[in-house]
């Protein structure tokens, strides 16, 4: 939203300016030569996380409006000429939000006053894009990579090859859902995923939720022995009911992928070995 403050003409009393500020519907502050906030509206206070506009009034201008990192002109905001610019707004809790602000001079009774209008909050856009990107590549329940995220990671981390593909599948998981309910079933999936995430971090591997109760790990050959031990320990703890509130068993199969192009065949082999192990459960 753009507010045409620059087009105002004539001399305004402070009460008139404050009435204008309260009616704009966007975040606004009033400041003068002292480089302090002389007034603010409720929208500005809320944007910066203050309980009331009174908490903002009297603050040094530099305490609420700062420079944007990486921009060429890092002069204090009060020293910049009136114009549209991108600035960092400093919130009450110490966090920041990036916004486009419009600054203009108003002829007020008693001397010129400057008014700053927050034209567009743009920091939230970047956060939304990052969040969407994360959601596209991760399983929403467990936080592990999904198939798409795993595929992208596999293709962009060729140093993992030659590597081992591990497939793990929880045994009789449908019976767990039928007997204990899906809430408990989800808790089991989240707990197992958390353990696999820790194992992946310890071994430099990549973990993913491949299907409902099926998980995938890709590790470099150098980490195979350590990974096998950690997965064995996890299986023991699952059966003992240490990881989750109920005892769970897991079937496991693995295969070697000599290169990134060999991954589909290795996955098929590991999957077949996992199902072979499951037949003996």
Q: Are residues 161 and 113 in the same domain?
A: no
Phi-psi region of 35 (alpha: psi -120 to 50; beta: other; left: phi over 0): left
Of the pLDDT bands very low, low, confident and very high (cuts 50, 70, 90), residue 179 is: very high
Residues 103 and 150 in one domain: no
Asked whether the beta carbons of 106 and 8 are under 8 A apart, the reply is yes
Question: In terms of domains, do 77 and 170 share one?
Answer: no
Cα–Cα distances (Å) from 198 to 12, 36, 149, 217, in that order, read 63, 50, 18, 12
CATH code (residue 243) = 3.30.70.270
pTM: 0.59
Interacting residues of 89 by C-beta distance below 8 A, sequence separation 6+ = 47, 48, 64, 65, 66, 96, 97, 98, 99, 101, 118
Lowest-pLDDT range, 86-100, 160-174, 216-230? Answer: 86-100
Question: Range of 92's domain?
Answer: 5-125
Q: What is the mean pLDDT of the chain?
A: 85
pLDDT of 80: 67
* Inside any domain, residue 133: no
**pLDDT above 50 for 68:** yes
Let me know if residue 78 belongs to a domain: yes
151 and 249 co-located in one domain: yes
Domain count, the chain: 2
- Which residue matches tokens 């082999």? 269
Tens of pLDDT, residue by residue over 80-131, are: 666 778 888 999 998 888 888 888 877 666 667 788 888 877 665 566 567 7
* Lowest-pLDDT range of 29-33, 53-57, 200-204, 271-275: 29-33
Share of the chain above pLDDT 70, in %: 84
Q: Is residue 131 part of a domain?
A: no
Residues 121 and 78 in one domain: yes
Query: Which among 55, 90, 125 is the end of a domain?
Result: 125
68 and 151 co-located in one domain: no
Q: Is the dihedral of CA 150, 155, 160, 165 positive or negative?
A: positive
Same domain, 40 and 82: yes
**Domain finish residue from 76, 92, 125:** 125
156 located within any domain: yes
pLDDT at 3: 37
Decide if 67 is inside a domain: yes
Residue 72 maps to a domain: yes
Average pLDDT over every residue of 52-61: 93
174 and 232 housed in the same domain: yes
Which has the higher per-residue pLDDT, 135 or 228? 228
Please state the rounded mean pLDDT for residues 228-253: 93
Residue 4: pLDDT band with limits 50, 70, 90: very low
pLDDT at 2: 35
| Final residue in a domain of this structure, among 125, 154, 182 | 125
Residue 171 pLDDT level (bands cut at 50, 70, 90): very high
Told to judge if 73 belongs to the known catalytic residues of this protein, a careful annotator would answer no
CATH number for the domain spanning 55: value is 3.30.450.20
162 and 268 share one domain:
yes
> Is residue 90 within 8 Å of residue 83, measured between CB atoms?
no
Q: Are residues 159 and 118 in the same domain?
A: no
Residues 257 and 198 occupy one common structural domain: yes
Higher pLDDT, residue 97 or 234: 234
In this prediction, residues 243-261 reach a mean pLDDT of: 93
Co-location of 162 and 96 in the same domain? no
Beta strand pairing call for 111-121 and 96-108: antiparallel
Provide the Cα torsion 94, 96, 100, 106; round to 10°. 0
Alpha carbon distance 194, 231 (integer Å): 13
**Positive or negative torsion for Cα 134, 138, 139, 141:** negative
Q: Does 130 fall in a domain?
A: no
Residues whose CB is less than 8 angstroms from the CB of residue 109 and which lie 6 or more positions away in sequence, other chains included = 11, 12, 13, 14
Q: Which of 39, 139, 213, 271 is catalytic?
A: 213
Classify burial at 232, counting beta carbons within 10 Å of its beta carbon; exposed 0-12, middle 13-18, buried 19 or more. Answer: exposed
- Distance of alpha carbon 244 from alpha carbon 267, whole angstroms: 28
């Amino acid at each position: 939203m753009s507010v045409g403050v620059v087009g105002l003409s004539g001399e305004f009393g402070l009460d008139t300016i404050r009435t204008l500020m309260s009616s704009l519907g966007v975040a606004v502050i009033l400041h003068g030569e002292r480089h302090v906030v002389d007034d603010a509206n409720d929208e500005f206070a809320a944007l910066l996380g203050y309980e009331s506009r009174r908490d903002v009034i009297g603050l040094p201008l530099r305490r609420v409006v700062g420079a944007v990192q990486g921009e060429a002109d890092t002069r204090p905001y009060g020293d910049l000429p009136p114009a549209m610019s991108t600035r960092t707004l400093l919130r009450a809790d110490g966090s920041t939000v990036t916004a486009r602000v419009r600054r203009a001079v108003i002829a007020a009774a008693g001397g010129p006053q400057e008014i700053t209008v927050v034209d567009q909050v743009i920091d939230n856009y970047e956060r939304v894009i990052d969040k969407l990107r994360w959601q596209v590549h991760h399983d929403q329940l467990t936080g592990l990579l999904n198939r798409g995220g795993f595929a992208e990671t596999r293709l962009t981390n060729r140093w993992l090859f030659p590597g081992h593909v591990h497939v793990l599948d929880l045994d009789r998981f449908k019976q767990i859902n039928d007997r204990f309910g899906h809430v408990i079933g989800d808790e089991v999936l989240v707990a197992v995923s958390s353990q696999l995430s820790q194992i992946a971090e310890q071994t430099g591997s990549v973990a993913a939720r491949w299907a409902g109760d099926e998980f995938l790990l890709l590790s470099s050959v150098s980490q195979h022995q350590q990974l096998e031990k950690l997965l064995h320990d996890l299986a023991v703890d699952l059966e003992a009911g240490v990881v989750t509130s109920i005892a769970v068993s897991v079937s496991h199969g693995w295969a070697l992928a000599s290169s990134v192009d060999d991954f589909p065949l290795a996955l098929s082999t590991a999957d077949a070995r996992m199902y072979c192990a499951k037949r003996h459960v």
